[in-house]
């Protein structure tokens, strides 16, 4: 979702991924004034696409994991280079999750008893 700031003539003068004040309003990607703004500002447009690509990659990783979990595809059916990349991404995402997990009561290696 994108948020836009409009000038006195109701033209978009800035775009953000979150509202920065009460003046910012949500805009759909099919909004003609947003399309025009992005065409006139390709550096902003490419940044939005890069951000969208990163989000979409996460979705694809989740879909791949779901297909593997449901045994629709086998992990070993992917080429070796794809397996390596998937494993590296999975490890990286798990490390991010574990680093931000503040609910763990025990540290790694701690015994319960």
pLDDT tens for 92-108 read 888 887 766 555 555 55
Residues 36-71: pLDDT tens digits? 888 888 888 777 777 777 778 889 999 999 999 999
- Dihedral, CA atoms, 62, 65, 67, 69, nearest 10 degrees? -130
| pLDDT at position 106 | 54
Task: Work out the widest C-alpha separation in the chain, in whole angstroms.
Answer: 69
Q: Is 37 exposed, middle or buried (0-12, 13-18, 19+ CB in 10 A)?
A: buried
Q: Where are the alpha helices (DSSP H) in 1-113?
A: 32-40, 42-69, 80-100
Q: Is 19 exposed, middle or buried (0-12, 13-18, 19+ CB in 10 A)?
A: middle
Does this model's pTM top 0.85?
no
| pLDDT at position 112 | 53
Helices 42-69 and 32-40, axial angle in degrees (round to 10): 110
pLDDT band with cut points at 50, 70 and 90 for residue 80: very high
| pLDDT at position 108 | 55
Average pLDDT, the chain: 84
| pLDDT at position 66 | 94
Residue 32: Cβ within 10 Å count: 7
- Give the mean pLDDT of 12-17: 88
- Give the mean pLDDT of 6-25: 89
Strand-by-strand arrangement of the 25-27 sheet: 12-16, 2-6, 25-27
């Amino acid at each position: 979702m994108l948020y836009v700031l409009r000038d006195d003539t109701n033209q978009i003068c800035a775009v953000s991924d979150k509202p920065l004040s009460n003046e910012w309003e949500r805009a759909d990607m099919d909004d003609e004034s947003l399309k025009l703004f992005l065409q006139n500002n390709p550096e902003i447009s490419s940044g939005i696409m890069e951000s969208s690509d990163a989000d979409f990659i996460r979705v694809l990783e989740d879909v791949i994991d779901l297909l593997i979990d449901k045994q629709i595809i086998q992990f070993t059916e992917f080429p070796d280079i794809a397996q390596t990349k998937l494993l590296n991404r999975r490890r990286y995402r798990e490390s991010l999750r574990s680093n931000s997990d503040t609910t763990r009561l025990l540290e790694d290696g701690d015994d319960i008893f």
